[in-house]
Amino acid sequence: MSSLATLRADVRRDLHDEDAAAYRWTDAEIDRHVKRALREYSLVSPLEQKTGLSTTAGSRDLSIVSLASRIRVIAAEFPTGEYPPSFVPFSVWGDTLTLDLTFAPSGSQSVNVYWHTVHTINGSVTFPSTHDDIIAGGAAGYAALEWASFASNRVNVGGADAWGRYMDFANVRLEEFRRGLRELPAANTLRTGQFYAPQPAGFHRQTTDPGPA
């Protein structure tokens, strides 16, 4: 099963940095690059969440500050418990979701918010283990890119062109990483459903005058 430790080991293997007595990258540095790759992965294949919130009497606004590491809000179901579900238009500004309702709720009522968030790897792991190689490859690319930038103006025991070799490695791995993201099913799925009926146009133009009936 995936874990931060197993991904960290995969990244070190890719970077040929497995001598624990002389690591080139610290664990903290590797972990930072893993999390960066994981966030980029999450933008393409996010973790799907459904959270129940409650309205306040006389207000169409809901605080969504509790939706941690939110990428985007997908839909708002109101009222809940209907079949088929009743999805309503909404807008998001900062940490406030506003329901586009004709009348504000008269009391505390349930709202189901469907949203995307970043995958986690500390503790529970929320992405499939089959995607470990994609994330580890991206992290290795970012780690090599960092080292190339650090080493470009320094004397290196690996020779003057050591930073260039790391840069080449980084470019190859990051291109493979982004190709892998493009090939993920979530990145290529055409979703034909809709959560709510489109609203009618707000303005109508009459180009001819039919005259009195």
> How far is the C-alpha of 189 from the C-alpha of 97, rounded, in Å?
27
> How far is the C-alpha of 100 from the C-alpha of 26, rounded, in Å?
50
> How far is the C-alpha of 193 from the C-alpha of 46, rounded, in Å?
18
Q: Where are the domains of the chain?
A: 4-44+121-186, 47-117
Please return the burial class of 114, using the count of CB atoms within 10 Å of its CB with bins 0-12, 13-18 and 19+: middle
Task: Identify the residue with better confidence: 67 or 123.
Answer: 67
Q: In the block, which residue shows the tokens 């290795």? A: 140
The mean pLDDT of 164-190, rounded to a whole number, is 85
Residues 119-164 pLDDT 10s: 998 778 899 999 999 999 999 999 999 988 766 555 454 544 565 6
Q: What is the pTM of this model?
A: 0.78
